[in-house]
Chains A and B, each alone.
Chain A
Amino acid sequence: MATEAQNASAAPVDAAHATTDRNFFQERSGIKSWLVTLDHKRIGLMYLVAVVLSFLVGGLFALLIRIELLSAGRTIMDADTYNRVFTLHGAVMVFLFIIPSIPAALGNFLLPIVLGAKDVAFPRLNLASFYLYVVGAVLALASMIIGSVDTGWTFYTPYSSNTDVGSKNAVIWMTGAVFVLGFSSILTGVNFITTIHKMRAPGQDWKRLPLFVWATYATSVIQVLATPVLAITLLLLIMERGFGLGIFDPRLGGDPVLFQHFFWFYSHPAVYIMILPGMGIVSEIIATFSRREIFGYMFVAMSSVAIALLGFLVWGHHMFTSGQSEYSTMVFSALTFLVAIPSGVKVLNWVATLYKGQITLSAPMLYALGFIVLFSIGGLTGLFLGTLSVDIYLHDTYFVVAHFHYVMVGGTVCAFFGGLHYWWPKMTGKLYDERLAKVAFWIFFIGFNVTFLSQFVLGSRGAPRRSWDYLPQFEELHRFSSVGAFIIGIGILLMVIVFVRSLVSGAKAPPNPWGSAALEWQTTSPPPVENFASTPVITRGPYDYHLATEGELYAGFPEDFEPSKKA
């Protein structure tokens, strides 16, 4: 039975509580109803399945890397295989998992709901971008089947212009895949920007937007502005490889450093495509589980925009040793330090939100707090890398590997997991086992630190990255790191078990299991096709706990709600 009676208290979202008896799963059934759906929720879930699969594939590559590095010299594979495995780990994780993970999967599901809209602005475009993603994934798979790339996910020229380890054409297939995935990303961005501008429910003004929306908005702007540069760069690389057009290869009169400029002009902002949505999720979770507005809401919102803009001006910090001019190096270092500010502002505001809050340590909250810890380490170690002479030393060592894993995995992936737990009841209508989920968190958290803290030391002692083999003095730390990777693996396996069990036998979720004041919790779990029975009218912000009625914050099933209790 679908939830029948919703509480009808005086609400900021009048109509939100009206009855619908079919949720979006039940509305239609059959494979075709999914494949040609225009419902953002279904598209979001299809994305979710796709990115989680990609994550598991990328994770398997990671484990292969760590097994190979258990001992110096050959452990299970030769150098050429290793080079392909680390390339695939990076390429799959970056292009198939992290970039689409939060925006395309969770964002798609949630954005219209939290705006009070029925769908995104361009539902067909949304489906198109999903299928572009699928095409990109298939191309990437094809490149693996025909022999796979060994260039590193950065495709640096002239190595990538000439390598034929494995296969002559794999580079073209893989860069082609990334090219197509880029379009998927651009279309999602365009769609979200339009949706946020045009589809907000009455009363949902900019100052009431959830911080997740601000973060998504900033992300979309980067996606739209930066991704075309990547697309052009890869196209040029394909032309160089395919037709001998000399652009990056000095033997053909090209300039290899130019490729790095182009590549990082996209890929540095892309770092913020990856982290900003994670920050948005953390803001949502912290507000809900402290039962209050995020401290300095406007500062947090604007810091997302600041990060997005500054993010375009710092690409050169990946190239301090590359041979770019000393003057650009100086300017890029200075600008890089500026990006530290908005990130710091966010962390401080989250911590301040906890002060005198009403905190519940649920599994999503653990992930959000875990994010703060790990992202702080990732951000602070960025200071080493922004400092010129220290970066020259640490560049292309394991220190950098550890740094960006703290930001990307400790940050984004941790937030993604947190968001997945947090919105799971909303998306599936099922509750999951909180206790086991917390155990999974701790295993993940400990494993993560074991894996990557040791890599900081490897790097600061001078171990270069992307090395199949290493000198004996690095063996101990490499072993330690490999053990950590398996602990992470166990944590994630347990998390998967928690979710599968929830799907199979989880208890039915009430509309608002966390007692949140935010809009998405004011409709049924899972929501009806049109998200709300009729367009909601918004009269307060998503974090205005003091304005929310007791009924809106009620965490049980509406039929059990007794407003008289407070007397």
Chain B
Amino acid sequence: MDHIPDIFGQLPKQASTLAASVDWLYQFIFWACVIMFVVIIGAMLFFVAKYRAKPGEKPLAPGPKHTTLELAWTFAPLILLGALFHWGFQSYVFSAVAPATSIEFRVRAKKWNWEFEYPSGSREGGVLVVPVHQPVKLIMSSEDVLHSFFVPAFRVKRDVVPGMYSTVWFEATELGEYDVFCAEYCGTSHSSMFAKVRVVTAAQYREFVLNMDRPPAGKTKAQWGAELFTANSCSACHHVVAGEAGGVGPNLFGVIGSEQPLEGGGTVHADLAYVRESVLRPQAKIVRGFTTAQMSTFTLSDSRIEAIYAYLETLR
């Protein structure tokens, strides 16, 4: 009984190493329930059909006490229940402990999208690309309310809780694209908080990761940098047109190559190293006059920072 066919099409396609054991248990419980249901309800219907009241019948005297029978059906189910507990716990432990060989991704959930951070530090919203036959561990956090990371095809689900990290892992076994749902109600667009997991071959994955840190085909480094500048919402705080003021952070027009005055005295030469530091550790050097607002910390790969730098260089 290694495999119980899903004759009613109750479960979606399996695509992870966990799925088979969950599905087996599901089907086992399903058939156990069907049998119990048929026996109990069958008996009920049979008795109802057979033992109808007849007019003028005298009431029954009570039968003997059936203590043994009572005790039997009180305790016998413990065998089934014990087995279910055991199997359920077994595959739960399997799903709770990520193998040491897992590659780790960071997942940030917020109303109402998923953002995936690759081991290289690059971030991508909406699609997580992972290699097949490779354990993958997600370290998840939420920026606002509860969310829950749910991939039906992998049979995994884990709440993403603000204020703590939660983890989930899976090893995909089938190439393809799988739905990611948010399973914990999170407000207005909860039902469209979708993402995809795209399972690719190891070679495709390497290729993808390399390309993540390269300008897309047909674009220069600076053009890619301009895209990253908006995609990472740098543009939300920084103006880039000469003379425009009033942004949360300094206007970045003409900054590169200049001497920037710092809070607490002194200046710094705005080169690549400075931009890099500004992005990765914004609090290290504070531009004079910008003590009230704080720039949030970003994790970007070197080549992305270089691309942004190339873009900022064009602003003069």
Contact = CB atoms under 8 A, between A and B. Distances in A.
Interface in B24-62: 25-26, 29-30, 32-33, 36-37, 40-41, 43-44, 47-48, 51-54, 57, 59-62
Contacts of A280: none
Interface in A344-361: 344-345, 347-352, 354-361
A396 interface: yes
Contacts of A330: 89, 92
A158 to B, nearest CB: 5
A364 to B, nearest CB: 14
Contacts of A262: none
Contacts of B144: 158
Interface stretch (B158-166, B206-214, B246-254, B298-306): B158-166
Contacts of A372: 40-41, 44
Nearest to B91: A389
Contacts of A356: 47, 51, 60
A257 B161 contact: yes
Given A79-B191, A354-B44, A553-B59, A341 B146 contact: no
Given A291-B59, A344-B77, A464-B183, A358 B43 contact: no
B51 A358 contact: yes
B51 A165 contact: no
Contacts of B25: 387, 389-390
Interface string B265-294: 000000000000000000000000000000
Contact of B92 (A337, A348, A389, A517): A389
Nearest to A541: B62
A165 B52 contact: no
A163 B187 contact: yes
Contacts of B99: none
Contacts of B73: 344-345, 348
Contacts of A350: 44
A338 B82 CA distance: 9
Contact of B145 (A162, A299, A388, A471): A162
A163 B93 CA distance: 36
A326 B96 contact: yes
Contacts of B21: 389
Given A295-B66, A392-B92, A250 B59 contact: no
Nearest to A459: B10
B4 interface: no
A387 B87 contact: yes
A159 B52 contact: no
B59 A464 contact: no
A442 B140 CA distance: 49
B260 interface: no
B29 A376 contact: no
A354 B47 contact: yes
A546 B52 CA distance: 18
Interface stretch (A112-120, A193-201, A377-385): A377-385
A292 B22 CA distance: 45
A354 B48 contact: yes
B157 A393 contact: yes
A159 B11 contact: no
A30 interface: no
A351 B47 contact: yes
A408 interface: no
A340 B185 contact: no
A380 B30 CA distance: 9
B159 A380 contact: no
A387 B29 contact: yes
A296 interface: yes
A466 B36 contact: no
A52 to B, nearest CB: 29
B191 A390 contact: no
Nearest to A336: B85
Contacts of A334: 85
B155 interface: yes
A291 B66 contact: no
Contact of A383 (B33, B150, B181): B33
A323 B159 contact: yes
B184 interface: yes
A122 interface: no
B17 to A, nearest CB: 12
B22 to A, nearest CB: 5
A384 B183 CA distance: 18
Contacts of B161: 250, 256-257, 322-323
A383 B31 CA distance: 12
A395 B183 contact: yes
A337 B145 CA distance: 31
Given A337-B84, A359-B53, 15 more contacts: A323-B158, A348-B73, A355-B47, A372-B40, A373-B41, A380-B33, A384-B26, A386-B88, A387-B29, A388-B91, A393-B152, A396-B183, A457-B9, A465-B185, A466-B190
- Which 3 residue pairs across A and B have the least CB separation, nearest first? A250-B163, A462-B152, A545-B59
Interface of B: 8-12, 18, 21-22, 25-26, 29-30, 32-33, 36-37, 40-41, 43-44, 47-48, 51-54, 57, 59-62, 66, 70, 73-74, 77-78, 81-82, 84-85, 87-96, 144-146, 148, 150, 152-153, 155-159, 161-164, 166, 179, 181-192
Interface of A: 79-80, 83, 150, 152, 156, 158-159, 162-163, 165, 250-251, 254-257, 290-293, 295-296, 299, 321-323, 326, 329-330, 333-334, 337-338, 340-341, 344-345, 347-352, 354-361, 369, 372-373, 376-377, 380-381, 383-384, 386-393, 395-397, 456-457, 460-462, 464-471, 517, 544-546, 548, 553
